[in-house]
Chain A
Amino acid sequence: NAGVTQTPKFQVLKTGQSMTLQCAQDMNHEYMSWYRQDPGMGLRLIHYSVGAGITDQGEVPNGYNVSRSTTEDFPLRLLSAAPSQTSVYFCASSTTASPLHFGNGTRLTVT
């Protein structure tokens, strides 16, 4: 049972480059979300989705795009990376009857 799978685990980008962080879950959860974790700030919600075809912004959405074409996948796109986006990114999923299930995270460095 894989749960929530995030790829890659590590990534280094140059300022202005774009990339996609992948997230997949095999639990048929309708709710998926992306968080970033920065020292002293806990986890902050970037974007979330309550089902295929439905996405919405969280607390810190600027500079990121998401889409939800299937229940299983919820990729996060950085359009033009900035040093301020250096962070650890977590994808999570849940249903209305469960807590959040997290992936193992992606550590992103933007130089």
Chain B
Amino acid sequence: AQSVTQLDSHVSVSEGTPVLLRCNYSSSYSPSLFWYVQHPNKGLQLLLKYTSAATLVKGINGFEAEFKKSETSFHLTKPSAHMSDAAEYFCVVSAVPLGGNQFYFGTGTSLTVIP
């Protein structure tokens, strides 16, 4: 079975400070993992993806995530938060490698950036 747990429903950081959004997963297969971002009243945009290549994945807008199999985690980080990073972030696991046909979403983490 596949599932995703986002450990924080809300995260608040000051502009210019690091961002950490936590995600743990459970998967019966070698998973593909994704982070999506959703700005208010917008659709979902892919930030980055892990598909069994390098464990440290770099995405758009300075975000990166590290796949840690021993900890079943895929935390999202950014060294310095910008105001434009304020959004909802979703961690997603796929049931089979390279995307596949079943995707499981976490409940989301709302990121607030304080000026």
Contacts and interface: CB of A to CB of B under 8 A. Distances in A.
Interface in A35-71: 35, 40-45, 48, 50
B44 interface: yes
Nearest to B34: A99
Contacts of A33: 103
Contact of A94 (B9, B43, B90, B99): B99
B107 A41 contact: yes
A96 B96 contact: yes
A95 B99 contact: yes
A41 B103 CA distance: 15
B92 interface: yes
Interface in B50-109: 90, 92, 94, 96, 98-103, 105-108
Contacts of B107: 40-42
Contacts of B49: 99
Q: Size range of the interface on A?
A: 20 to 34
Given A99-B46, A99-B49, A100-B92, A42 B98 contact: no
B43 A90 contact: yes
A31 B43 contact: no
A96 B105 contact: no
A105 interface: yes
B101 A48 contact: yes
B9 A31 contact: no
A72 B107 CA distance: 29
Contact of A102 (B44, B94, B99, B108): B44
Interface of B: 9, 32, 34, 36, 42-46, 49, 90, 92, 94, 96, 98-103, 105-108
Q: Which 7 A-B pairs have the closest CB atoms?
A: A42-B107, A104-B43, A43-B105, A102-B44, A42-B105, A102-B43, A97-B98
